[in-house]
């Protein structure tokens, strides 16, 4: 059962514009959420995270928003740069309450930034 869903397999955006990636989850026990970025032939690299006690976390060009009532989170990249072209995975865990560090991943969204 897919507990984390990324319903958009791909996203194309012009350089300098905003990229918005969406993620939905079904498990109400999830309380910690992460975004990973993956280039071909490399493992995923950690990008940004947010715990369920917050609704926004910002790190440079990357901002993650969490809507707990809707079980939805999004990643905003502003401005998008060519180096942002990669696959982005949303992931979730129940680490805060359950001390469960294993991650459930979405299927990923491939972002292409056009010059």
Partner 1 sequence: DTGVSQDPRHKITKRGQNVTFRCDPISEHNRLYWYRQTLGQGPEFLTYFQNEAQLEKSRLLSDRFSAERPKGSFSTLEIQRTEQGDSAMYLCASSLTGSDYGYTFGSGTRLTVV
- Give the residue with the Cβ less far from partner 1, 17 or 54: 54
Q: Which residue from 45, 46, 8, 49 is spatially nearest to 31, judged by alpha carbons?
A: 49
**Segment interacting with partner 1 (CB under 8 A) among 10-18, 58-66, 73-81, 98-106:** 98-106
Residues 26-65 that bind partner 1 (CB under 8 A): 34, 36, 41-46, 49
74 contacts 56 by C-beta, under 8 angstroms: no
Q: Is 25 in the site for partner 1 (CB under 8 A)?
A: no
Pairwise CA distance, residues 55 & 64, whole Å: 8
- Give the residue with the Cβ less far from partner 1, 85 or 109: 109
Query: Rounded to 5 degrees, what angle do the CA atoms 83, 114, 67 make?
Result: 70
Give contact residues for partner 1 (rule: CB under 8 A).
Answer: 4, 6, 9, 34, 36, 41-46, 49, 89, 91, 101-108
């Amino acid at each position: 059962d897919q507990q984390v869903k990324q319903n958009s397999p791909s996203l194309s955006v012009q350089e300098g514009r905003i990229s918005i990636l969406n993620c939905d989850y079904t498990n109400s026990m999830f309380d910690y959420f992460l975004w990973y970025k993956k280039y071909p032939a490399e493992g995923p690299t950690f990008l940004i995270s947010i715990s369920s006690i917050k609704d926004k976390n910002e790190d440079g060009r990357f901002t993650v928003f969490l809507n707990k009532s809707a079980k939805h989170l999004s990643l905003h990249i502003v401005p998008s740069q060519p180096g942002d072209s990669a696959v982005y995975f949303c992931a979730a865990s129940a680490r805060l309450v359950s001390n469960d560090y294993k991650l459930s991943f979405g299927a990923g969204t491939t972002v292409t930034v056009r010059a």
